[in-house]
Amino acid sequence: MNNTKFTTQSFFMAKQNKEKITMLTAYDYSMAQLVDASGINAILVGDSLGMVVQGHDSTLKVTVDDMVYHCSCVSRGIKKTMLVGDMPFLSYHISPQEAVRNAGRLIQEGNADAVKLEGGKNMADVVKAITNAQIPVMGHIGLTPQSINIFGGFKVQGKEEKTAHKLIEDALALEDAGVFSIVLEAVPEDLAKIITEKIHIPTIGIGAGRYCDGQILVINDILGMYSNFTPKFVKQYANLKDIIEKSITSYAEDVKSGQFPEKKHTFTINESVLKKLY
Question: Using the rule CB under 6 A, is 181 a contact of ligand KIV?
Answer: no
Near ligand KIV in 222-261, by CB under 6 A: none
Report the alpha-carbon distance of residue 271 to residue 71 in Å, rounded. 49
Q: SS3 for 250?
A: helix
Which residue's beta carbon is nearest to the bound ligand KIV?
46
119/132 Cα distance (integer angstroms)? 18
Q: Report how far residue 7's alpha carbon sits from residue 108's, in angstroms, rounded to the nearest whole number.
A: 17
**Residue selected from 44, 64, 71, 84 as contacting ligand KIV according to rule CB under 6 A:** 44
Q: Which is nearer to ligand KIV, 8 or 48 (CB)?
A: 48
Q: Which is nearer to ligand KIV, 15 or 140 (CB)?
A: 140
186 belongs to the binding site for ligand KIV (CB under 6 A): no
- Reply yes or no: is the peptide bond before residue 261 cis, omega within 30 of 0: yes
**Residue 72 interacts with ligand KIV (CB under 6 A): yes or no:** no
Residue 113 contacts ligand KIV per CB under 6 A? no
CB 216 → ligand KIV: shortest distance, Å? 5
Dihedral sign of CA atoms 140, 12, 45, 222 in order:
positive
44-52, 120-128, 156-164, 249-257 -> range binding ligand KIV (CB under 6 A): 44-52
Is residue 160 annotated as part of the catalytic site, yes or no? no
Sort strands 114-116 and 203-206 into parallel, antiparallel or unpaired.
unpaired
DSSP one-letter code for 122: G
Active-site hit among 185, 189, 262, 271: 185
* Among the listed residues 19, 35, 52, 31, the one whose alpha carbon sits nearest the alpha carbon of residue 226: 52
- Binding ligand KIV (rule: CB under 6 A), the pick from 14, 15, 24, 25 is 25
* Interface pick for ligand KIV out of 22, 27, 32, 47 (rule CB under 6 A): 47
Whose Cβ is closer to ligand KIV: residue 124's or residue 218's? 218
By beta-carbon proximity to ligand KIV, the closer residue of 150 and 273 is: 150
Q: Let me know: does 224 contact 218? Beta carbons within 8 Å.
A: no
String marking each residue 139-168 x if it binds ligand KIV according to CB under 6 A: -x----------------------------
Is 119 an interacting residue with respect to ligand KIV (CB under 6 A)? no
Q: What is the DSSP letter of 6?
A: P
C-beta contacts of 90-96 below 8 A and 24+ residues apart: 91/63, 91/64, 91/67, 92/117, 92/123, 92/126, 92/130, 96/125, 96/126, 96/128, 96/129, 96/130
120 part of the interface to ligand KIV, by CB under 6 A: no
Whether residue 84 contacts residue 112, with contact meaning beta carbons closer than 8 Å, is answered with yes
Q: Point out which span in 43-51, 161-169, 171-179, 249-257 binds ligand KIV (CB under 6 A).
A: 43-51
- Could you say whether residue 216 binds ligand KIV (CB under 6 A)? yes
Q: Report which of 67, 70, 68, 15 is spatially closest to residue 41, judged by C-alpha positions.
A: 15
Is 183 an interacting residue with respect to ligand KIV (CB under 6 A)? yes
Using CB under 6 A as the binding criterion, the count of chain residues that bind ligand KIV stands at 12
Residues that bind ligand KIV (CB under 6 A): 25, 44, 46-48, 86, 140, 183, 185, 206, 216, 218
Positions annotated as catalytic residues are 185
